[in-house]
């Protein structure tokens, strides 16, 4: 079985998780995020789970601090990648926001690792910047593909299947 790794990125609310969940209708999918271990730390510090602009800034800064302190986000992603290799999953989606972290993970994994930016123009134009480095810097990387998520939920399964299938046949 061939395994595929997709680093998926996009600002908050553009539909990254919905796309990953939709892909699970076609392939065996594992979906992870470099922020996951940071969320546990944030909850211990009093974060209530809401992703307000202030909370997003806090999470972004906390991720930077944990990266500097003990490289927690990268170590977590690599542990999850190793588990993926031993599993029956066909696709690993890895949510990483920061361009330098994207490139570092991509280099560590090598091989068939592709990067995808999820873009939702109608939301992003109406909302504007979210006020933190992680969300507002997603366009500062050259991605292998851009998924424009401005269609309907009805058409999403076909769009997701076609989009990711093209990468798996290259």
Q: Which residues contact 46 (CB under 8 A, 6 or more apart)?
A: none
101-138 pLDDT, tens digit per residue, is 999 999 999 877 999 999 987 776 666 677 767 777 78
pLDDT attached to residue 100: 93
* DSSP output for 11-80: STTSSHHHHHHHHTTTS-EEEEETTHHHHHHHHHTT--S---HHHHHHHHHHHHHHHHHH-HHHHHHHHH
pLDDT attached to residue 12: 81
Residue 88 token pair: 């029956």
Rounded to 5 degrees, φ, ψ at 91 are -125, 135
Q: How far apart are CA 130 and CA 37, in angstroms?
A: 22
Q: What is the mean pLDDT of residues 44-72?
A: 93
User: Contact, 119 vs 145, CB < 8 A?
Assistant: no
pLDDT of 168 over the 90 cut: no
Q: What pTM does this model have? A: 0.91
User: Contact, 157 vs 128, CB < 8 A?
Assistant: no
| H/E stretch holding 4 | strand 4-9
User: Contact, 112 vs 5, CB < 8 A?
Assistant: yes
pLDDT attached to residue 170: 66
């Amino acid at each position: 079985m061939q395994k595929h790794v997709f680093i998926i990125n996009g600002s908050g609310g553009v539909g990254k998780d919905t796309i990953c969940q939709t892909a699970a209708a076609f392939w065996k999918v594992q979906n992870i995020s470099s922020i996951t271990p940071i969320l546990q730390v944030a909850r211990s510090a009093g974060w209530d789970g809401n992703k307000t602009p202030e909370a997003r800034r806090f999470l972004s800064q906390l991720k930077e601090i944990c990266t500097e302190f003990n490289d927690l986000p990268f170590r977590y992603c690599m542990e999850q990648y190793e588990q993926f290799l031993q599993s029956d999953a066909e696709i690993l989606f890895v949510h990483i926001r920061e361009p330098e972290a994207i490139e570092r993970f991509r280099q560590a994994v090598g091989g068939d690792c592709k990067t995808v930016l999820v873009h939702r123009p109608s939301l992003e134009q109406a909302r504007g910047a979210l006020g933190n480095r992680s969300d507002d810097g997603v366009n500062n990387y050259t991605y292998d593909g851009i998924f424009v998520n401005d269609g309907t939920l009805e058409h999403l399964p076909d769009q997701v299947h076609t989009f990711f299938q093209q990468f798996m046949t290259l």
